[in-house]
Homo-oligomer: A and B are copies of this chain.
Amino acid sequence: MQLLKERILAEGQLFPGNILKVDRFLNHQVDVNLLYEIGKEFRRIYADSDINKILTIEASGIGIACVAAMHFDCPVVFAKKSKSINISNDFYQCDVMSYTHNNLNHVIVSKDFIGPEDKVLIIDDFLANGCALGGLIEIVKTAGAELVGCGIVIEKGFQAGGKALRDRGIRVESLAIVESMNPETGEIIFG
């Protein structure tokens, strides 16, 4: 998606440790007009699918998913992060390691909001090692729902997550794939 790549080049910030900060327009300050175009692009890519639910994970996925959902005319469900294991039987849950924050989150989704009747698109801001996405996919499968695919805003193509998921036969569509980035020169190369 050209508009997105141009924005990453103009306003993304690189830091050592493979960190690409897009705080100016995606996950701290949010340009909702860009989100609207991102949502439209997800709809175009998944035009052939009768998606009836979008699943994401708090926090930065929520805005992207909610604006995208306007193009799909379907509800969003956002998975919640919980510090403690939820002993209730009312939730699907899985563990997700966050390398960004270096902690383990228990991720929960109420059984009321996802089930065998659902055709699910998972949306998230980043795909790197795929931990968060893997957790959401596990929840979709446990719920007996159909996973139509994943819509990612920025994929770090040099990390293993995208390939591993595609090798499992999962449809992963990323609007910008960063193949390499150099914090010393500021260079970002897209795939």
Contact A77 B36 (CB under 8 A): no
State the number of copies, please: 2
The main secondary structure of chain A at its interface with chain B is mixed
Contact A28 B75 (CB under 8 A): no
Contact A28 B59 (CB under 8 A): no
Docked pose: A179 CA to B181 CA in angstroms: 55
Contact A112 B66 (CB under 8 A): no
Docked pose: A25 CA to B69 CA in angstroms: 13
Number of residues from A at the complex interface, CB < 8 A = 32
Contact B66 A78 (CB under 8 A): no
In this complex, the member of A25, A30, A113 whose beta carbon has the largest number of chain B beta carbons within 10 angstroms is A30
Given A36-B70, A66-B35, A70-B67, A76:B113 Cβ within 8 A:
no
A29 at the interface (CB under 8 A from B): yes
Contact A76 B30 (CB under 8 A): yes
Given A59-B58, A59-B59, A59-B78, A29:B113 Cβ within 8 A:
yes
Given A63-B66, A65-B63, A67-B70, A110:B32 Cβ within 8 A:
no
A-B contact pairs, 5 of them (CB 8 A): A29-B75, A30-B66, A33-B70, A62-B63, A63-B76
